[in-house]
Chains A and B, each alone.
Chain A
């Protein structure tokens, strides 16, 4: 049983460059979430997908950020024209939403991608 995987684990880039991160969720999970964590803070929600549909985006997600989940499997998060303020840990989580609802859907997190923008 493989958990959530993220690639790369670390990324150093120069300001103004574009970066793309990948997340592979647990195989049977239909929901996929992206969060961002900065030093001394808890993870903050960015966006989530149910299957291939992007259902919600946070106001934190500026127009330089775009996320996709083609075919409802893996997801990519792209940041264009990176800024130093984008330096953070980017976390991906997946969960299985029951069609019956009524109980908490546990989100399982990947190890994260640490981004440093110089």
Chain B
């Protein structure tokens, strides 16, 4: 049973445009949601997180939006750059953010020059 779902395996955008990566979850006990970026042959790198009590968190070019009623979150990257090309994982955790991460399957983002 997939508790965190990323339904788009891939996304392709033009440099300078907005990238929107989506994530849905089923477990209402999740407290925090995180986005990680992964390049080939490297471990995941933390990007940004959001608490379940908030609906938006912004860090530079990255903004995460959370819609609790819809159990949906999205990561916006503006403007997209070729170096953003990677696999993006949505992850969730419960109990005040101090437990294991539950990951989605990832979305491969390609930013074309």
Contacts from A to B (Cβ < 8 Å)? 4, 31, 33, 35, 40-45, 48, 56, 58, 91, 93, 97, 101-112
> Which label, helix, strand, loop or mixed, suits the secondary structure of the A interface?
loop
A44 to B, closest residue via Cβ: B103
CA distance A48 to B45 in the complex (A): 19
- Are the C-beta atoms of A104 and B34 separated by less than 8 Å? yes
Residues of chain B at interface, number, CB under 8 A: 28
CA distance A40 to B106 in the complex (A): 8
A111 neighbours in B (Cβ, 8 Å): 41-43
The contact of B97 among A35, A48, A104, A109, by CB within 8 Å, is A104
Q: Report the minimum CB–CB distance from B14 to chain A (whole Å).
A: 26
CA distance A56 to B94 in the complex (A): 14
- Residue-wise, chain B 95-110 has the 8 Å CB interface mask toward A (1 for contact) of 0111111111110000
A93 neighbours in B (Cβ, 8 Å): 43
Interface centre among B6, B34, B41, B51 (most CB of A within 10 A): B41
B46 neighbours in A (Cβ, 8 Å): 106-108
